[in-house]
Amino acid sequence: MNRGVKTRAIRLDLHKCLAAQRFMKEEVIRFFVKIVKVGTSR
């Protein structure tokens, strides 16, 4: 395995991690918004 392929794979993994973190953050925000809406509707 040459260095170029390895660094590209690492960069792709990092990008996947960042995308996953962003997705999780959006899910958490959506979850909190739902809780707040339910709380205020009562």
> pLDDT of 1-24, one tens digit each?
577 888 898 899 999 999 999 999
Alpha-carbon span 35 to 40, nearest angstrom: 9
pLDDT of residue 27: 96
Alpha-carbon span 36 to 28, nearest angstrom: 12
How many domains does the chain divide into?
A: 1
Contacts of 31 (CB under 8 A, 6+ apart): none
* Assigned token pair, 24: 């999780």
Model confidence, pTM = 0.54
pLDDT of residue 20: 93
- How far is Cα of residue 18 from the mean position of the Cα atoms in its chain? 6
Segments forming the whole domain that contains residue 1: 1-42
pLDDT of residue 41: 78
Confidence of residue 39 (pLDDT cuts 50, 70, 90): confident
* Assigned token pair, 1: 């395995």
